Amino acid sequence: MRLELTVQYATARKGLPHKSSIERWARAALADLGRGGAALTVRIVGARESAALNGRYRGKQGPTNVLAFPFSAPPGAKSDVLGDIVICAPVVRREARAQGKRVPAHWAHLTVHGIMHLRGYDHRTRRQAAAMEGREVRVLARLGFPDPYLV
């Protein structure tokens, strides 16, 4: 599959995953998409930007680990654009430590999780969560990462 991936680093890059890692995780999350191509942006931010976006778009206070902004093409238009995901670097590091996870594994999980949201998956109900989490676990296993929900 053709993947057009833009990675934006809007915070200090030390300790952040390289674009090649994010691309590998994205390709795995999109492997069964069933279309010729996909385009998405991954923006890595600090706590301030994450908190501002979380407040503006979700009405929630403080930074969050990942936000997904799916793109919907206008009626009759074709587009490979899936949307954008925004990942908060300090939250990823803090959560990985608190949950006893390797930091790269948590980065991979949140990248895959965000892409699943762009694909239309959600976790508002138990049934939705089971479907989404099951897909994430399978993708992460193919990448060599453990089940992120076994904390």
Q: Is residue 114 part of a domain?
A: yes
Q: Is residue 149 part of a domain?
A: no
CATH number of domain containing 37: 3.40.390.30
Q: Is residue 107 part of a domain?
A: yes
User: Is 123 marked as a binding-site residue?
Assistant: yes
Q: Is residue 148 part of a domain?
A: no
- The packing angle between helices 47-58 and 89-99, to 10°, is 100
Domain around 8? 2-142
Residue 34 phi, psi (nearest 5): 75, 35
Q: How far apart are CA 81 and CA 18, in angstroms?
A: 22
Q: How many domains does the chain have?
A: 1
Q: What is the pTM of this model?
A: 0.96
Q: Is residue 147 part of a domain?
A: no
User: Is 106 marked as a binding-site residue?
Assistant: no
**Which tens digit of pLDDT belongs to each residue from 37-76?**
999 999 999 999 999 999 999 999 999 999 999 999 999 9
Q: Is residue 62 part of a domain?
A: yes
pLDDT band at 15 (very low <50, low <70, confident <90, very high): very high
